[in-house]
């Protein structure tokens, strides 16, 4: 049986898969080829130090996952990147609790960078921090 943390991260990946037709990988190495629609890679991130309440014992996390958003090629690269970020924001805003699996989900602002690729079009990429607020009864989950 998956832990609450794994259930939440899986639900987040599933939510992100509803964004256009952009592939979403989870915890994988960035491939050499980026699909024309772009690519997202969800990294599990860090659950951080939990707050603890007693009676009943609960561990309250502010888990910071990272979403790597990558767009390559084309004249409209910047516009495509901007639309993709906007659709990610809209998907998260439409389901802030991941269908009741966590207390709250919020994305933080990305910091885009242009990365030159030898012999190819530059990549525009950003890490989008996604903060997951949830509680569970065991620190190991």
User: What confidence score (pLDDT) does residue 51 get?
Assistant: 96
Instruction: State CA 64 to chain mean position distance.
Output: 9
Residue 123, in any domain of the structure? yes
Is there a domain that residue 113 lies in?
A: yes
Is the pTM for the entire model greater than 0.85? yes
CATH number of the domain to which 116 belongs: 3.30.2000.10
Question: For residue 89, what are the contacts with CB-CB under 8 A and spacing of at least 6?
Answer: 107
- Phi/psi of residue 104, nearest 5 degrees: -165, 145
With bands split at pLDDT 50, 70 and 90, how would you rate the model's confidence at 15?
A: very high
Within-domain flag for 52: yes
Q: What is the pLDDT of residues 2-13, one digit of tens each?
A: 899 999 999 999
**Residue ranges with strand state E in 1-141:** 24-26, 39-46, 51-53, 58-72, 104-107, 113-117, 120-136
Range of the domain at 41: 4-136
Q: Note whether residue 141 is domain-resident.
A: no
Q: How many helices (H) and strands (E) does the chain have?
A: 2, 7
Q: What is the reported pLDDT for 20? A: 76
The mean pLDDT value of the chain amounts to 92
In this predicted model, what pLDDT tens digit does every residue of 115-128 receive, in sequence order?
887 777 788 999 99
- Tokens for 137? 């009864």
Reported as a single tens digit per residue, the pLDDT across 41-55 is: 999 999 999 999 999
- Into how many domains does the chain fold? 1
Q: What is the pLDDT of residue 98?
A: 97
Q: Residue 126 has which token pair?
A: 């950003």
> Which pLDDT tens digit goes with each residue over 73-90?
767 888 999 999 999 999
């Amino acid at each position: 049986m998956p832990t609450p943390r794994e259930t939440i991260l899986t639900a987040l990946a599933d939510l992100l898969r509803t964004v256009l037709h952009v592939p979403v990988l989870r915890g994988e190495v960035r491939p050499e080829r980026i699909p024309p629609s772009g690519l997202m890679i969800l990294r599990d991130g860090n659950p951080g130090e939990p707050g603890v309440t007693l009676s009943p014992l609960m561990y309250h996390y502010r888990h910071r996952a990272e979403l790597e958003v990558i767009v390559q090629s084309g004249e409209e690269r910047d516009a495509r990147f901007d639309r993709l970020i906007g659709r990610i924001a809209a998907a998260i805003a439409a389901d802030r609790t991941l269908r009741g699996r966590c207390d709250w989900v919020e994305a933080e602002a990305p910091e885009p960078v242009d990365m030159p690729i030898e012999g190819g079009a530059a990549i525009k990429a950003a890490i989008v921090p996604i903060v997951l607020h949830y509680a569970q009864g065991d620190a190991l989950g």
